[in-house]
Amino acid sequence: MLIAGNWKMFKGPQETRAFVDSFQPPEGVEVVLCPPFVSLEAALTGPHTIYAQNVHWEGSGAYTGEISPEMLLELGVQGALVGHSERRQLFGETDEMVARRTRSALESGLGVIACAGETLEQRESGDTELVLKIQVEAIAFAAGEYEKLVIAYEPVWAIGTGKTATPEQAEEAHRFIKGLTDRPVLYGGSVKPENAAELLDQPSIDGALVGGASLDPDSFAAICRAASPS
Ligand code: 13P
């Protein structure tokens, strides 16, 4: 099981250090923290695996505001999220950009958690599988034979809304994604200590990508315990 915490635009270096000092996940669960870029170094002072929230495809160049895989590696960061729905919806990321970020990060040796998911409108018009197919195939094709890729299924309508996909809805989407690519698939969208166990119990759910509930060390540790084998 892999449990990743996406902090989004929360926690500067000071709050990050405080989190790392008090966060105690159980043994036997792979945990990843994804702080904002400016807090990566502070997060790396702890014992946890640290991923960035995005990564550019070039090694260096005139790309204001972007960070390269090499820069992350120099810092000791082990991977990156790519294609989060907030990047796609608010910052115009296309499947092509997500594919390039994925490819370059994997080539440089970083791990990648690549996100896919449908909006409410797409779900209601019956397009969930089509959307997932387009997004996941772009990612899987870009990743080729590289191993360190994990897919995160994040239905956009369940992100930050308190509306979780039912375990059955999540399982159905995960099974569909696994039919497209043979990769671990995390579920993301309003995962909390109260609903983590029933989601993680589903056979095709290999872990979680947690937003809001990963900001508090106790609630994030509780979610990690729900994934723990003991
Ligand atoms: P919430 O857990 O806050 O719904 O966010 C999910 C998410 O977007 C994780 O990447």
Q: How far apart are CA 149 and CA 162, in angstroms?
A: 27
pLDDT at position 205 over 80: yes
CATH number at residue 64: 3.20.20.70
- Pairing of the two strands 185-188 and 207-210: parallel
- pLDDT band with cut points at 50, 70 and 90 for residue 75: very high
Q: Cβ(186)–Cβ(4) under 8 Å?
A: yes
First to last CA, the chain: 12
Distances from the Cα of 218 to the Cαs of 117, 202, 213, 228, in angstroms? 28, 24, 9, 15
Total domains present in the chain: 1
pLDDT at position 181 over 90: yes
Q: How far apart are CA 149 and CA 112, in angstroms?
A: 5
What is residue 23's DSSP assignment? -
Among 17, 12, 1, residue whose Cα is nearest residue 36: 12
Instruction: List 210's β-bridge partners, or say none.
Output: 5
Q: For 140-153, write each residue's pLDDT tens digit.
A: 999 999 999 999 99
Q: Cβ(226)–Cβ(26) under 8 Å?
A: no
Q: How far does the centroid of ligand 1 lie from the alpha carbon of residue 188, in Å?
A: 6
Domain of residue 221: give its range. 2-227
- pLDDT band with cut points at 50, 70 and 90 for residue 34: very high
Q: For 102-126, write each residue's pLDDT tens digit.
A: 999 999 999 999 999 999 999 999 9
Active site residues: 84, 154
Phi-psi region of 143 (alpha: psi -120 to 50; beta: other; left: phi over 0): alpha
Which of 120, 159, 164 is the pocket-test mutation for ligand 1 (most atoms within 8 Å of CB)?
159
Q: How far does the centroid of ligand 1 lie from the alpha carbon of residue 208, in Å?
A: 10
